[in-house]
Amino acid sequence: MRNRVELWAFPFALVSATIAAADISFWQIGGTGVNWAGSDSAQVMIDFTRGTNSIQPVQVTSDTTVFTFLENWSPKKNPDELGFVDGERPRAWKGGSGSSRTTDNALNLIDGNGKTYNPVTSNSIGGEYYTIDLGVPVPLFRFAMSSPDEGFYRSDGTPLEEDAIPAFEVSMAPDTNNDVISTSEPIGEIITEARENVNPKITAEFPLQYVRYVRYKRKNSILDASTNESVGSSGTARKGTVAEFFLWGEGMPKRATYKTNIFDLGSVVNFGRLFWKITPMRLVNGVAEEAPDANVWIEVEARTGVDELPDVYYEFTDMGTRVIVDQGRYQKKLKNQSSAINNADGLGGTLTLTTRPKPGIRAGVEYDQDNWTFWSFPITASDKTLNLNRGSHLQLKIVLHSEHFDEFVRLDSLWIETSPILASRILGEVAELGQPNPTRGVAEVPLGQMTDFTYDLKADFTTGGPGFNALRIKTGSLQTEFKGLLINGVETAPEGVEVVDGDLVVHLPDPVTQANNPDLRITFASEVFDFARTFQGEVFNVNSEDLPQPVEGGDVSDVVGTNSLRVLAFSDANPQLVQDLRFSSGVVTPNGDGVNDELLISYSLFALPQSVPVQLRVFSLDGSQVALVERGQQGSGPQTLRWDGRDQQGATLAPGIYLLGVGIAAENQTDVQLQPIGIAY
């Protein structure tokens, strides 16, 4: 369970005092801030109506089909809008891709109208299948399908309301992958099927469960035999017509998603911590009540930029080069590039010609990395630093999670610290000492070995800013050593140096301002614990509450050619993920006397591209696992955790000798580094 209780970070009186002293302000959505309703660019199963400017998941009820709780449906597997992200829009499509054409539009079959349906055809039965993606897993217990309403007939006079599907199968899954979606195979568990069906209305009940994907597929049947003999020769349409699919459920979705518009903040600012206020809820006899123990949580991602759009749109010129165009022209005027066109050859046939790039043809879309950050890693706890670059525009993605059909989370409000920028921009680039221009343009060092680095820094004060007097480099290594400070190439003693939890903090002898803006170089030694490490940095003012400003990778020095804060690491061997396992004691005595009640465990994680779930595993001497305790997310580098001699249920293990290790949740137990530990009372 994560973040079960709401967090209101601090009293309003304290907020006001802090803001006045530090020039920190708060951008807020929800509560007294920006309205949730109307501020979304995408949302699935979000209810705006149950609270005062708050959001929560839509409650699914069995008195109507689930399709009515969803909006903005697409009839295509790959919707046309630019920037479509899986899970941010419900979809229903026919065959491999679907379209809005009359014969292929799957939305005809989920609109609740028995008078709209796709006409039967004489095409291959194997190509007649429909996939429904609800966007998020929803609690369902019943599927149904029916033929058209009365008043419609086949060419032979048969009423379509009696035109049953001779053979079919229906499958469903809570989640799946594109490998399955891109085939015509069952998308998960088959919930109903028939090979000789004469019933025009089909209903299938199943235990209440989370479902996101549903696939209906027409199958061959001996009842098709007479029709199949003529299909392909006379164009006779097959038997069987579907007009409507139905899905019924009860409860709250497993997750609901909300993506904001891009907000214009009015000026370029630095970002600090992210806060929110949530209320865990539970349905009791159908009525929502506050429930602090509900197993619910939210996760938030953010990105920021210094202009309006995170994408750059291109059009071909008559020379085959590219030119930037606005989003409106790209979407509404330009056409997709085609590999070939067919022209009349003048002799009654056709001639295939390869098209060339030319004006009026789309030349692609690229992410604007120069002006926009990528989406942050999901944040699952309030009062956490966003680690975003400066920006004047902001966008958020929010997911509301639940683990039970009757529990959900209401998000009342969300707010972010902001403060004025310290400089227009802070650029930095890192290199291995003595290797300023590596062959591949990026520093490459041995994994897990102490290496000397240079960290060049330059501030831009084009639009002003008060400046800074200290720098923090996040090395991720507790063994980091400061080597030196160069100001305009001259070795200079810093005002002070600290190494705290893998952060190297250097206090400058004089503030860097628009009037005093020297070239800075920090030299330090550190270990790299993963194959790709970004030495994130930030500048700040000592004894000031102003928010720090992140360092952005770029071209700082003519003598250094990396133009980046990224370092790559290599290893001749395939390193163990968990290394250097150490215990504070050889025995743990959980008897409450204050001596060795807890065991401090230290270790290092290697070669992880991002944070992963870590587990504490305990084995008896015969090899049986006697405890598996989840310890949350951790990333590469030195780590610690504590253990009180208890298993995952909170029960104290019996006295004796055990083997204890730390491992990654997704890895094999053989990868765990084990050491003996004693338990005594």
Phi, psi dihedral angles at 382 (to 5 degrees): -70, 165
For 584, other C-beta atoms within 10 Å of its C-beta total 13
Q: How confident is the model at residue 2 (pLDDT cuts 50, 70, 90)?
A: very low
User: How confident is the model over 623-658, as pLDDT tens digits?
Assistant: 677 888 887 788 777 888 888 888 777 778 888 888
Q: Are residues 32 and 88 in the same domain?
A: no
CB 154 within 8 A of CB 237: yes
β pairing state of 201-218 and 129-146: antiparallel
Q: What would the two tokens of residue 144 be? A: 């149904």
Coil, strand or helix at 34 = strand
Q: What is the DSSP letter of 69?
A: G
Q: How confident is the model at residue 7 (pLDDT cuts 50, 70, 90)?
A: very low
Assign residue 103 a region (left: φ > 0; alpha: ψ between -120 and 50; beta: otherwise).
Answer: alpha
CB 446 within 8 A of CB 508: no
| 297 domain-assigned | yes
pLDDT of residue 20: 33
Q: Are residues 479 and 555 in the same domain?
A: yes
pTM > 0.85: yes or no: no
H-run or E-run covering 610: none
Indicate the range of 177-181, 186-190, 272-276, 407-411 predicted with least confidence: 177-181
H-run or E-run covering 210: strand 201-218
What residues are paired with 278 via a beta bridge? 411
Q: Is the dihedral of CA 496, 497, 503, 508 positive or negative?
A: positive
Averaged pLDDT for residues 557-571: 89
Q: How confident is the model at residue 341 (pLDDT cuts 50, 70, 90)?
A: low
d(CA 636, CA 577): 9
d(CA 7, CA 30): 15
d(CA 538, CA 547): 10
User: How many domains does the chain contain in total?
Assistant: 5
d(CA 160, CA 148): 6
For 4, other C-beta atoms within 10 Å of its C-beta total 15
| 59 domain-assigned | no
| 1 domain-assigned | no
DSSP code per residue over 425-465: EEEEEEEETTBSS-TTSSEEEETTS-EEEEEEEEEE-TT--
For 204, other C-beta atoms within 10 Å of its C-beta total 15
Burial 145-166 (b: 16+ CB within 10 A, else e): bbbbbeebeeeeeeebbebbbb
Q: Are residues 528 and 554 in the same domain?
A: yes
Total count of residues recorded for the chain: 681
User: How confident is the model over 487-498, as pLDDT tens digits?
Assistant: 999 999 999 999
| 286 domain-assigned | yes
d(CA 179, CA 250): 30
Of 245 and 442, more confident? 245
User: How confident is the model over 288-331, as pLDDT tens digits?
Assistant: 999 999 999 999 999 999 999 999 999 988 888 889 999 889 88
Domain final position from 528, 544, 570: 570
Is pLDDT of 422 > 90? yes
Of 571 and 453, more confident? 453
Q: Are residues 20 and 37 in the same domain?
A: yes
Q: Which ranges in 94-153 belong to alpha helices (H)?
A: none
Q: What is the DSSP letter of 329?
A: H
**How deeply is 664 buried, as exposed, middle or buried, from its count of CB atoms within 10 A (0-12, 13-18, 19+)?**
middle
pLDDT of residue 343: 55
Q: Are residues 508 and 523 in the same domain?
A: yes
| 52 domain-assigned | no
Task: Specify the CATH number for the domain of residue 593.
Answer: 2.60.40.4070
Is pLDDT of 592 > 80? no
For 677, other C-beta atoms within 10 Å of its C-beta total 22
Instruction: Using CA atoms of 634, 639, 642, 646 in order, give the dihedral in degrees to the nearest 10.
Output: 50
pLDDT of residue 358: 82
Average predicted confidence (pLDDT) for the chain = 86
What spatial distance separates the first Cα and last Cα of the chain, rounded to whole Å?
A: 31
Phi, psi dihedral angles at 330 (to 5 degrees): -60, -45
Q: Are residues 492 and 532 in the same domain?
A: yes
User: How confident is the model over 518-543, as pLDDT tens digits?
Assistant: 999 999 999 988 777 889 999 999 98
Of 431 and 22, more confident? 431
- Of all residues in the chain, what percent carry a pLDDT higher than 70? 88
Range from 4-18, 206-220, 232-246 that averages highest in pLDDT: 206-220
Residue type, 379: I
Q: What would the two tokens of residue 277 be? A: 């206020």
For 228, other C-beta atoms within 10 Å of its C-beta total 17
Domain final position from 367, 392, 408: 367
Tell me the helices (H) and strands (E) count for the chain, helix number first.
Answer: 4, 44
The whole domain housing 124 covers: 66-249
d(CA 55, CA 412): 7
Q: Are residues 396 and 300 in the same domain?
A: yes
pLDDT of residue 6: 31
Nearest to 245 by CA among 136, 93, 87, 60: 93
Range from 1-5, 97-101, 619-623 that averages highest in pLDDT: 97-101
Averaged pLDDT for residues 505-520: 97
Q: Are residues 211 and 239 in the same domain?
A: yes
Q: Are residues 101 and 220 in the same domain?
A: yes
Of 6 and 248, more confident? 248
Averaged pLDDT for residues 76-95: 86
Q: Are residues 382 and 491 in the same domain?
A: no
Query: Which residue matches tokens 């240079």?
Result: 454
Is pLDDT of 463 > 80? yes
pLDDT of residue 641: 85
Q: Are residues 557 and 463 in the same domain?
A: yes
pLDDT of residue 275: 97
Task: Specify the CATH number for the domain of residue 527.
Answer: 2.60.40.740
d(CA 65, CA 73): 15
Query: Which residues have C-beta within 8 Å of that of residue 245, sequence separation ≥ 6?
Result: 109, 110, 130, 132, 143, 144, 145, 214, 216
CB 459 within 8 A of CB 470: no
Query: Which residues have C-beta within 8 Å of that of residue 19, sequence separation ≥ 6?
Result: 25, 26
Domain final position from 340, 367, 394: 367
Averaged pLDDT for residues 169-191: 88
CB 615 within 8 A of CB 630: yes
pLDDT of residue 180: 80
| 55 domain-assigned | no
Nearest to 380 by CA among 271, 258, 297: 297
Q: What would the two tokens of residue 240 be? A: 């069987």
d(CA 59, CA 69): 9
| 3 domain-assigned | no
CB 312 within 8 A of CB 324: yes
Query: Which residues have C-beta within 8 Å of that of residue 41, sequence separation ≥ 6?
Result: 259, 260, 261, 262, 395
Burial 247-259 (b: 16+ CB within 10 A, else e): bbbbbbbbbbbbb
| 127 domain-assigned | yes
Q: Are residues 219 and 267 in the same domain?
A: no
Is pLDDT of 555 > 90? yes
Q: Maximum distance among all alpha carbons in the chain? A: 100
Is pLDDT of 21 > 80? no
Nearest to 369 by CA among 602, 553, 193: 553
Q: How confident is the model at residue 122 (pLDDT cuts 50, 70, 90)?
A: low
Q: What would the two tokens of residue 555 be? A: 């071209």
